[in-house]
Amino acid sequence: MARQRMLLFPEGFLWGTASSSYQCEGGNTNNQWYRWEQQGHIRSGDRCAEAVNWWKRAESDFALAEQMGNNALRLSLEWSRIEPTEGCWDNEVFDRYRTMLTDLRNRHIKPIVTLHHFTEPLWFADLGGFAHEDNLRFFVRYVTHAIQGLKDLCDFWITINEPNVYAVQAYVLGLYPPGEHNLVRALHVLRNLMQAHVEAFYAICDLQPEAQIGYCLDYRLFDPTNALSPLDRSGARLHETFFSWATLQAGETGRFTFPLNMLIAPIAHAAGARDYHGVNYYTREMVHFDPTMPSEMFGRRFKLAGSVYNDPGLDNDYGEIYPPGLYRVLKSVYQRTRGNKPLYITENGFSDAFDDRRPRAILEHLAMVHRAIGDGIPVQGYLHWSLVDNFEWTDGWGVRFGLIEVDPLTQERIARRSAGLFGAICRANAITEAIVECYAPGAMDVVFS
Ligand code: BGC
């Protein structure tokens, strides 16, 4: 009998899912996102409300992660619960997080904890949030408290989720609070978030020298609509540099690339201030040069005929499902950082309510991760976004990223086929022919090419 082909992952590879406090916990009424919703900024009219109720029942979802053979799970702490008013700390909140992290550890699931995932307390937002450098001390003080309270249960920290997305969505596109359209302020916020990471990094190093500490960026690729057109090519390069690579470089060297460095101060003590690179990857966009669109950096975005797409939301278009992009991003992060640190895929996922594209997408993206590892790129873990459907920011309940479906009204969970697939891969630490055959036979050639 012919031997089955398989893509085996390295021993100790971390397999898990990622999520955030606001999107999952429920009952968060003390941060700027709650206020944003009350002000009517969610077009569908959806409310986060009880979310998926993790504040009360996260453990039953952790059990589902355990059944999937996951050995890691990323969640975030809600700063607005921990420090509801400036300088006051809620110990009961720490108790709840301690129970959650203990439960994960009892299930042999490594907790990966994000300290800031888009939300912050109202009092901090009202002081101007990350737009003011002066406010960074509040963030670092909160981080210090959090580490002191939880360091016996967690040694893997993500300081800040996607500074680039936060800056663009909140200060350029106006889709996240405070809803501004101010490029210069966006750049300052981006710089301050990166500075906040550096300061948090050193604070955590002092308290927990053995911890692994990093931040994650969303890496979005931009390709020219016409690869032969120099204008399309430079438009795509400009978008990609601005969105993805400028922040990575600034994180590495402290300096933003020209011309951003004319507008933004350097990041002090940035060099070396991370133990790994957190890579979030979702999509790529096609760009066509258009002189009538200066506000879009002269690039019109295009959909490629024949490509497979995520479900769109009312506010965000989740874009193309483009597996080779994950390989390209991993390689580029590795090369641009001269291979100086391990890489973790801290988010990758698909909005696909009917789960008819996700199984194949998971397989083809993981085949790219395997290829990257085979090329010597030290990728040490993969966290799928997300374990269960959750509140997708401005798109509310309108798009579904979960391996497991949730009805937010009844809180009922129904595992999608993708959960079966992901579980099979995690348990085997491999993609086998039998797994592909069972879940997405159409992916066979791509996976084993
Ligand atoms: C964010 C998540 C979000 C996901 C899907 C990521 O950029 O970190 O909070 O749910 O994308 O849109």
Taking 90 as the threshold, does the pLDDT of residue 236 lie above it?
yes
354, amino acid identity: F
- Looking at residue 298, its pLDDT comes to 85
Angle CA(346)–CA(183)–CA(42) in degrees, nearest 5? 65
- Looking at residue 297, its pLDDT comes to 82
Nearest-CA residue for atom 5 of ligand 1: 392
Angle CA(150)–CA(153)–CA(157) in degrees, nearest 5? 70
CB 186 within 8 A of CB 167: yes
* Span from the CA of 340 to the centroid of ligand 1 (angstroms): 26
User: From the CB of 78, is ligand 1 less than 6 Å away?
Assistant: no
Number of residues that make up the chain: 449
In whole angstroms, what is the distance from residue 381 CA to residue 16 CA?
A: 8
In whole angstroms, what is the distance from residue 232 CA to residue 224 CA?
A: 5
Nearest-CA residue for atom 10 of ligand 1: 392
Choose the residue to mutate in 24, 392, 394, 397 for probing ligand 1, maximizing ligand atoms within 8 Å of C-beta.
392
Query: Residues 87-143: pLDDT tens digits?
Result: 999 999 999 999 999 999 999 999 999 999 999 999 999 999 999 999 999 999 999
User: From the CB of 392, is ligand 1 less than 6 Å away?
Assistant: yes
* Span from the CA of 3 to the centroid of ligand 1 (angstroms): 39
- Looking at residue 302, its pLDDT comes to 86
The ligand 1 atom at the shortest distance from the C-alpha of residue 390 is 10
User: What per-residue string of b and e applies to 58-76 under the rule 16 or more CB within 10 Å gives b?
Assistant: beebbebbbebbbbbbbbb
User: From the CB of 164, is ligand 1 less than 6 Å away?
Assistant: no
* Span from the CA of 412 to the centroid of ligand 1 (angstroms): 22
- Say if strands 14-18 and 156-161 run parallel, antiparallel, or are unpaired: unpaired
Residues forming a β-bridge with 279: 217, 345
- At 294, the pLDDT band (50, 70, 90 cuts) reads confident
Nearest-CA residue for atom 9 of ligand 1: 20
User: From the CB of 221, is ligand 1 less than 6 Å away?
Assistant: no
* Span from the CA of 141 to the centroid of ligand 1 (angstroms): 26
- Looking at residue 4, its pLDDT comes to 87
Question: For residue 184, how far is the Cα from the chain centroid?
Answer: 24
What φ, ψ does residue 77 adopt, rounded to 5°?
-90, 145
CB 254 within 8 A of CB 318: no
In whole angstroms, what is the distance from residue 206 CA to residue 254 CA?
A: 21
Taking 70 as the threshold, does the pLDDT of residue 1 lie above it?
no
- At 62, the pLDDT band (50, 70, 90 cuts) reads very high
In whole angstroms, what is the distance from residue 219 CA to residue 379 CA?
A: 15
Taking 80 as the threshold, does the pLDDT of residue 2 lie above it?
no
Average pLDDT of the residues in 427-440 = 98
> What mean pLDDT is reported for the chain?
97
- Looking at residue 295, its pLDDT comes to 76
* Span from the CA of 348 to the centroid of ligand 1 (angstroms): 9
* Span from the CA of 105 to the centroid of ligand 1 (angstroms): 25
In whole angstroms, what is the distance from residue 380 CA to residue 346 CA?
A: 10
* Span from the CA of 130 to the centroid of ligand 1 (angstroms): 19
* Span from the CA of 86 to the centroid of ligand 1 (angstroms): 28
- Give the DSSP letter string of 148-159: HHHTTT--EEEE
Query: Residues 241-257: pLDDT tens digits?
Result: 999 999 999 999 999 99
- Looking at residue 253, its pLDDT comes to 97
- Say if strands 14-18 and 379-384 run parallel, antiparallel, or are unpaired: parallel
- DSSP letter at 243 equals I
Query: Residues 354-405: pLDDT tens digits?
Result: 999 999 999 999 999 999 999 999 999 999 999 999 999 999 999 999 999 9
User: From the CB of 352, is ligand 1 less than 6 Å away?
Assistant: no
Quick one: CA dihedral 367, 370, 372, 374, positive or negative? negative
Query: In Å, what is the CA distance from 197 to each residue of 2, 297, 308, 377?
Result: 51, 28, 35, 24
Q: Is 49 left (phi over 0), alpha (psi -120 to 50) or beta?
A: left
Average pLDDT of the residues in 259-278 = 96
* Span from the CA of 20 to the centroid of ligand 1 (angstroms): 9
The ligand 1 atom at the shortest distance from the C-alpha of residue 218 is 7
User: From the CB of 246, is ligand 1 less than 6 Å away?
Assistant: no
In whole angstroms, what is the distance from residue 297 CA to residue 291 CA?
A: 9
CB 331 within 8 A of CB 372: yes
Nearest C-alpha neighbor of 351 from the set 379, 377, 316: 316
User: From the CB of 395, is ligand 1 less than 6 Å away?
Assistant: no
- Looking at residue 3, its pLDDT comes to 77
- DSSP letter at 259 equals T
The ligand 1 atom at the shortest distance from the C-alpha of residue 349 is 5
Query: Residues 320-346: pLDDT tens digits?
Result: 999 999 999 999 999 999 999 999 999
* Span from the CA of 433 to the centroid of ligand 1 (angstroms): 31
- DSSP letter at 135 equals G
Query: In Å, what is the CA distance from 319 to each residue of 303, 304, 350, 369?
Result: 8, 10, 9, 20
Cis peptide, bond prior to residue 178, ω within 30 of zero: yes
Query: Residues 11-21: pLDDT tens digits?
Result: 999 999 999 99
Query: In Å, what is the CA distance from 325 to each residue of 2, 89, 221, 335, 343?
Result: 32, 42, 7, 15, 15
The ligand 1 atom at the shortest distance from the C-alpha of residue 20 is 9
User: From the CB of 315, is ligand 1 less than 6 Å away?
Assistant: no
In whole angstroms, what is the distance from residue 51 CA to residue 40 CA?
A: 17
* Span from the CA of 231 to the centroid of ligand 1 (angstroms): 31
Average pLDDT of the residues in 409-431 = 98
Q: Within 13 Å of residue 309, how many CA atoms lie on the same side as its CB?
A: 15
In whole angstroms, what is the distance from residue 251 CA to residue 254 CA?
A: 6
Q: Report how far apart the first and last C-alpha atoms of the chain are (Å, whole number).
A: 21
